[in-house]
Amino acid sequence: MHVQLLIFQNPYVLLRAALLLNRQLSFLQTWQKSRKKTG
C-alpha cells in the first residue's frame, strides 16, 4: 500500500507508467492490423 501512495505522489512515475501503457497499446494495435493483413 505504501508503494502505491508513493507512486501517486510522484507525477514523474505516473507519466512514465502512462507512456509505457500507451506504447504497449499502440504496439498491440499495429500488431492486430498486421495480423489482419496476413490472415
One-letter amino acid for residue 29 of the chain: Q
Do residues 13 and 7 touch, judged by C-beta distance below 8 A?
yes
Do residues 30 and 24 touch, judged by C-beta distance below 8 A?
no
pTM equals: 0.55
Distance CA 38, CA 27 (A): 17
Nearest residue to 18 (alpha-carbon basis) of 8, 3, 29 = 8
- Quick: pLDDT tens for 1-39: 577 777 667 888 888 999 999 999 999 999 899 988 876
**Residue keyed to cell 514523474:** 12
- Residue 1, pLDDT score: 57
